[in-house]
Chain A
Amino acid sequence: GAVVSQHPSRVICKSGTSVKIECRSLDFQATTMFWYRQFPKQSLMLMATSNEGSKATYEQGVEKDKFLINHASLTLSTLTVTSAHPEDSSFYICSFRGGGNIQYFGAGTRLSVL
Chain B
Amino acid sequence: DQQVKQNSPSLSVQEGRISILNCDYTNSMFDYFLWYKKYPAEGPTFLISISSIKDKNEDGRFTVFLNKSAKHLSLHIVPSQPGDSAVYFCAASWDGTASKLTFGTGTRLQVTL
A43 and B2 form a contact (CB under 8 A): yes
A43 and B99 form a contact (CB under 8 A): no
A-B contact count (CB 8 A): 58
Which residues of A are found within 8 Å of B98, using beta-carbon distances? 97, 101-103
Question: Which chain B residues in 37-53 approach chain A with CB under 8 Å?
Answer: 41-46, 49
A43 and B105 form a contact (CB under 8 A): yes
Query: By the criterion of a CB under 8 Å from any partner CB, how many residues of chain A are at the interface?
Result: 25
Which residues of A are found within 8 Å of B104, using beta-carbon distances? 43
The majority secondary structure among interface residues of chain A is strand
Tell whether A6 pairs with B43 under 8 Å between CB atoms, given A43-B104, A46-B100, A103-B98.
yes
A101 and B49 form a contact (CB under 8 A): yes
Q: Mark A3-39, 1 if CB is under 8 A from B, else 0.
A: 0101001000000000000000000000010101000
A49 within 8 A of B: yes
Complex CA gap A54/B105 in Å reads 31
15 A-B pairs within 8 Å (CB atoms) are namely A6-B43, A34-B99, A34-B100, A43-B4, A43-B89, A43-B104, A46-B101, A93-B43, A102-B34, A102-B46, A103-B98, A103-B101, A105-B45, A106-B43, A107-B42
Complex CA gap A61/B34 in Å reads 25
The majority secondary structure among interface residues of chain B is loop
Complex CA gap A4/B45 in Å reads 11
Complex CA gap A45/B3 in Å reads 11
A62 within 8 A of B: no
Which residues of A are found within 8 Å of B99, using beta-carbon distances? 32, 34, 49, 97
B88 within 8 A of A: no
B26 within 8 A of A: no
Q: Which of A43, A104, A105 has the most CB of B within 10 A?
A: A43
Nearest A residue to B44 via CB reads A105
Which residues of A are found within 8 Å of B105, using beta-carbon distances? 41-43
A107 and B49 form a contact (CB under 8 A): no
Q: Mark A77-114, 1 if CB is under 8 A from B, else 0.
A: 00000000000000001010100011111111000000
